[in-house]
């Protein structure tokens, strides 16, 4: 590359005046700040007016001193807001996607209230226990709900190509195709791909449907021409470190985000740790371990959740039993052998949603639609499903008896869905990693598309769950499961 090429960019003084105006990310962060302030204010003021007796107007402090409870709550609110800011809960790299935003909110809240507890202890402040038992959990729930609501609003804006990052991908054609394919099949990335920059030459002026807007030599001008605010480096053998460095300086001067896409895919943020060594930004990838304390808490959560859900849904299960029995001949429950963790078989229980002879017809139906060799035995417009069974499946009510499987430890509330032995027999090496964790009543691919996903996408989501398990992710999947059951959409069958 020539020293005077556009990719190298001009001097700092020349480019510094060409910085982009304030982005949508800052406007969105300002809305989140206003929302956080409102939630904290409503939580603490409601606690004061509804949970504390009128007789408690002051707080004893260090013996004879007393201070207004309202003043204490104002200080608590300020501490809470500061902790949320210090934890980066509105950082543009965390908000709008993934579980990191929610995790930071919980951590920041616990730190703020833990600090309050310590201050109260050393100053001998007689704070009401209900402040910690009621206000803290209610406030965390309201903060999480408000962020979820804002995220839904953001998704609607992004579907209209608003509040998105206009993105250019730079690198070899093959690596660009891989990066754009991964971005294209995911929702909520906030990235709007507007073009690519690759080596010149050739008659094909597009890659993966995206226009080639420039070459390595004209990269900086190409990014400016399409008004991009984000550049993704997909990598290329002929894109040397010096050229990348100069291009990075130019993008920095123009306030364009600089993103490097590693060859590793489907790796969640908490597993990635950057460690500079000898000037090289080495990326260390840790491997999740669902064992020890993590396994204990997941099992405890499964037990508690299953018991609560059985009690709550027992009237529904009684009604479903009566309706299933009255709708068609056959037993109320249907038990089928499935493959669990590490290949151990178990009997999974469901409400019967098909005719009694349904299993005998499965092979012929799969052959008829040409999917008998794929490890996802789904029959489109399945004629074996009963009238009541169709409703039960649409709202996942046929799955309720699996809470018994959760109680005895064969299933988890969240995990890859268990499959038949015939399906597992068709697994390749990658698919066998699904069996490293306990299967679940609901999973990542069930809340990401349900019946409309093909095997490749379902496997990708299951492997992502296995490789990136976290307790927070389980909670998010359960909330998404509730939404999918209440409003199943067109993909539910």
Span 151-198, pLDDT tens digits: 999 988 888 888 888 999 998 888 888 888 888 877 777 888 999 988
Better pLDDT: 9 or 386 = 386
**pLDDT at residue 255 above 60?**
yes
**pLDDT at residue 71 above 80?**
yes
Mean pLDDT of the chain: 81
Better pLDDT: 365 or 420 = 420
**pLDDT at residue 491 above 70?**
no
Better pLDDT: 492 or 343 = 343
Better pLDDT: 461 or 12 = 461
Q: Model-level pTM greater than 0.75?
A: no
Better pLDDT: 225 or 237 = 225
Asked whether 441 and 399 are in contact (CB, 8 A), the reply is yes
pLDDT for the residue numbered 34:
96
pLDDT above 70: percentage of residues in the chain: 84
Which of 194-203, 353-362, 393-402 holds the top average pLDDT? 393-402
164-263 belongs to CATH 3.40.50.1980: yes
In terms of residues, how long is the chain?
Answer: 493
Per residue in 42-53, pLDDT (tens digit) is 999 998 888 777
Per residue in 474-484, pLDDT (tens digit) is 888 888 888 77
* Of 20-34, 81-95, 127-141, 324-338, the least confident: 20-34
**pLDDT at residue 11 above 50?**
no
pLDDT above 90: percentage of residues in the chain: 25
pLDDT for the residue numbered 435:
87
Per residue in 413-460, pLDDT (tens digit) is 999 989 888 888 888 888 888 888 899 998 888 787 655 677 777 888
16: confidence class by pLDDT, cuts 50, 70, 90: very low
Which residue, 308, 301, 317, is CA-closest to 414? Answer: 301
pLDDT for the residue numbered 10:
43
pLDDT for the residue numbered 288:
62
Which of 143-157, 234-248, 354-368 holds the top average pLDDT? 143-157
Better pLDDT: 291 or 127 = 127
Calpha distance 284→282 (Å, rounded): 6
Q: What mean pLDDT comes out for the span 33-46?
A: 95
Calpha distance 431→424 (Å, rounded): 8
Q: Where are the chain's structural domains?
A: 24-159, 164-263, 293-486
């Amino acid at each position: 590359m020539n020293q005077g090429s556009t990719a190298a960019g001009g001097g700092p003084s020349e480019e510094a005046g060409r910085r982009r105006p304030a982005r949508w990310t800052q406007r969105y962060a300002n809305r989140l700040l206003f929302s956080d302030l409102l939630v904290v204010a409503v939580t603490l003021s409601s606690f004061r007016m509804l949970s504390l007796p009128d007789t408690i107007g002051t707080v004893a402090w260090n013996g004879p001193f007393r201070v207004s409870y309202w003043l204490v709550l104002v200080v608590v609110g300020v501490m809470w807001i500061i902790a949320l800011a210090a934890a980066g809960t509105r950082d543009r790299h965390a908000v709008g996607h993934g579980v990191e935003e929610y995790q930071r909110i919980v951590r920041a809240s616990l730190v703020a209230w833990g600090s309050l507890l310590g201050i109260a202890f050393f100053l001998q402040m007689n704070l009401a226990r209900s402040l910690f038992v009621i206000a803290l959990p209610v406030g965390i729930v309201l903060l999480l709900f408000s962020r979820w609501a804002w995220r839904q609003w953001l998704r609607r804006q992004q579907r209209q190509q608003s509040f998105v990052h206009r993105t250019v991908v730079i690198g070899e054609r093959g690596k660009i195709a891989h990066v754009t394919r991964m971005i294209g099949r995911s929702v909520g990335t906030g990235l709007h791909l507007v073009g690519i920059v690759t080596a010149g030459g050739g008659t094909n002026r597009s890659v993966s449907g995206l226009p080639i807007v420039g070459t390595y030599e004209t990269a900086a001008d190409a990014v400016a021409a399409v008004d991009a605010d984000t550049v993704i480096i997909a990598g290329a053998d002929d894109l040397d470190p010096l050229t990348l460095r100069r291009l990075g300086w130019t993008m920095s001067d123009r306030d364009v985000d600089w993103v490097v896409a590693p060859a590793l895919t489907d790796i969640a943020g908490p597993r990635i740790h950057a460690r500079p060594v000898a000037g090289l930004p080495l990326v260390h990838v840790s491997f999740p371990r669902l064992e020890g304390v993590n396994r204990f808490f997941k099992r405890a959560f499964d037990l508690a959740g299953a018991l609560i859900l059985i009690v709550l849904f027992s009237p529904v299960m009684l009604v479903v039993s009566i309706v299933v029995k009255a709708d068609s001949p056959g037993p109320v429950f249907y038990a089928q052998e499935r493959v669990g963790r590490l290949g151990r078989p178990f009997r999974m229980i469901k409400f019967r949603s098909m005719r009694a002879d349904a299993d005998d017809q499965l092979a012929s139906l799969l052959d008829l639609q040409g999917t008998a060799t794929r490890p996802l035995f789904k029959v489109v417009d399945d004629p074996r499903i009963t009238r009541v069974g169709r409703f039960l499946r649409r709202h996942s009510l046929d799955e309720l008896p699996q809470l018994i499987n959760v109680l005895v430890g064969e299933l988890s509330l969240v995990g890859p869905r268990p499959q038949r032995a015939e399906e597992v027999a068709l697994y390749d090496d990658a698919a066998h990693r699904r069996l490293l964790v306990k299967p679940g009543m609901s999973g990542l691919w069930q809340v990401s598309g349900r019946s409309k996903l093909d095997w490749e996408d379902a496997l990708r989501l299951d492997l992502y769950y296995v490789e990136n398990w976290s307790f927070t992710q389980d909670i998010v999947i359960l909330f998404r499961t509730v939404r999918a059951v209440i409003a199943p959409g067109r993909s539910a069958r």
